[in-house]
Amino acid sequence: MKIYAYFKKKDGFTLFYSLLMIIIVLIFISVLVNIAANEYSQAEKNKNSTKAYFLARSGAEVMAGYINQYGDTAITEMNSYISNEDIMELKEDDEKISDIKIIDNLDDSYDIISTAEVKGEVKSIKALIAKTIPSLEGVAIFAKSNLDFSKLDELDLASGTVLTNGSTINDPEGFIKNDDQKVTNAGLDFPSIEWDDNWQTNGKIDSEIKTLIDPDSDGIEDEKAIVDDRISSSGYYKEIKYNNGNLEIDFSSVTDEINIAVDNFTLKSDMSFTDAENKFLNIYVKDSIVFQTPNVDLPNINFFLAEGSTMTLIANSNIPDDEGIFVYGPDSNFIMQSNQTTFGGAVVVDSFEGQGKLAMGNFIYEAFDEDELTYIENIIKLKAKYNIINWDRYSAE
């Protein structure tokens, strides 16, 4: 109290007290401003770090799309590196994808390493991409939208399974004896076989088919002719129609397979095979195929049906060989009227209909052996898109 009384008697006490309060307030404001500035700086850093992370993810996603658009050759052509300017337009100089690298894992998968920078904050992310397809093991029939056995005369599934993405399987005769052999709402996604009329301009064509019909890559279809009722090499035969006589498939000059692409294939006559043991005949169909041939001793014959096409097995087809036939066309229609046909592996289509009460539509399932299953699944994987199946943060250190 003595000090207070002393200063009270002195001039300038009010000024001193005011200055002291101002200093205290300024110090307090300075501390608050410093705290706010640090928090703002940290918030900006966190924001830029988050933006860099998602920009890096976007880079990996764009790269996966780039590979799907231009095919596996795009990976080779990029020589394991592609700069950001090649794949996306950048909005600001301080927000950019620094680089994208692709690493071959040597197991049909790739790591895409994408690095992005936003205002000094750098983030790298690794995306694992691979082609995946549903397993065909144990699949007798898969029909994406329509599975109708109402007019089928017989269905021998053995241990095979019938599946559909639809909600019902029309089986009034009760061919499927065990509930665990039928699956509805399966949710399976098999890759389509593309073969568009305007493939030269829109690029919608399966890579194997394009190789067959346009071997010179000049956009001009190269049609081959059947000579002496014999096919002995792969190629595009456009229209095949045999109502009598015999069509010979001669494997003598090939080591493993013959691949044929056709717009339409009608066979209502005999068909024979030369030197076909342990070899494959793969037939790619654009529009339609009608198969009506009796007592054929088959090699491994596989039909690949383009989107919107139709395959019909007619009444007197009698194909009992254990190798059987495999039919793949997840966006095609399949009509079963044959006397007896053994299917080696599966039928994968959009719509399956039996139309053969009088025509004895008999379906017999014979499971793939391991080598055949691997062979078929490898072909189908080539038609699949790369999917990102795993994300991981990446550090080069």
- At residue 285 the predicted structure's pLDDT band, cuts being 50, 70 and 90, is very high
Is 74 found in the same domain as 109?
yes
Q: Give the pLDDT score at 201.
A: 85
Is 151 found in the same domain as 113?
no
- Does any domain span residue 377? no
Is 125 found in the same domain as 147?
no
Do residues 303 and 326 lie in contact, with contact meaning Cβ atoms separated by under 8 Å?
Answer: yes
Q: Give the pLDDT score at 44.
A: 80
3-state secondary structure at position 12: coil
Is 249 found in the same domain as 340?
yes
Taking residues 68-78, what's their average pLDDT? 67
24-72 pLDDT, tens digit each: 888 888 878 788 777 777 788 888 888 889 888 988 898 888 888 776 6
Tell the residue number behind the tokens 């699944």, with chain if given.
377
Q: How many CB atoms lie within 10 A of CB 388?
A: 15
> Please, which residues have CB within 8 angstroms of residue 259's CB and are 6 or more apart in sequence?
208, 212, 234, 282, 284
Taking residues 146-173, what's their average pLDDT? 89
- Does any domain span residue 248? yes
- Does any domain span residue 267? yes
Of 149, 158, 133, 16, the residue nearest 376 (C-alpha)? 133
Do residues 308 and 285 lie in contact, with contact meaning Cβ atoms separated by under 8 Å?
Answer: no
Is 198 found in the same domain as 111?
no
- Does any domain span residue 352? yes
Percent of the chain clearing pLDDT 70 (strictly above): 85
Q: How many CB atoms lie within 10 A of CB 75?
A: 19
Is 225 found in the same domain as 202?
yes
pLDDT at 352 over 80: yes
In eight-state DSSP terms, residue 368 is P
Of 382, 381, 348, the residue nearest 133 (C-alpha)? 381
Which helix (H) or strand (E) segment is 82 a member of?
strand 81-82
Is 119 found in the same domain as 235?
no
Mean pLDDT (the chain, rounded): 83
pLDDT at 73 over 90: no
Poorest-pLDDT segment among 3-7, 210-214, 279-283, 392-396? 3-7
- Does any domain span residue 376? no
Alpha-carbon distance values, 100 to 68, 104, 198 (Å):
16, 13, 33
CA–CA distance, 300 with 311 (Å, rounded to integer): 18
Of 304, 290, 286, 306, the residue nearest 345 (C-alpha)? 304
Taking residues 159-182, what's their average pLDDT? 91
Its pTM surpasses 0.75: yes
Do residues 131 and 108 lie in contact, with contact meaning Cβ atoms separated by under 8 Å?
Answer: yes
In DSSP terms, 342 is beta-bridged to 364
Is 234 found in the same domain as 197?
yes
Q: Give the pLDDT score at 331.
A: 96
- Does any domain span residue 144? yes
Is 194 found in the same domain as 101?
no
Give me the domain span that covers residue 397. 1-131+387-397
Is 358 found in the same domain as 235?
yes
Of 205, 312, 303, the residue nearest 260 (C-alpha)? 303
Do residues 321 and 300 lie in contact, with contact meaning Cβ atoms separated by under 8 Å?
Answer: no
3-state secondary structure at position 22: helix
Of 354, 281, 382, 262, the residue nearest 324 (C-alpha)? 281
Which helix (H) or strand (E) segment is 148 a member of?
strand 139-151
Q: Would you say the C-alpha torsion 182, 185, 190, 195 has a positive or negative sign?
A: positive
Q: Give the pLDDT score at 11.
A: 56
Taking residues 332-341, what's their average pLDDT? 84
- Does any domain span residue 374? no
Taking residues 2-19, what's their average pLDDT? 62
Is 193 found in the same domain as 321?
yes
How many domains, the chain? 2
Q: State phi, psi for 7 to the nearest 5 degrees.
A: -70, -25
- Does any domain span residue 224? yes
- At residue 102 the predicted structure's pLDDT band, cuts being 50, 70 and 90, is confident
Is 80 found in the same domain as 216?
no
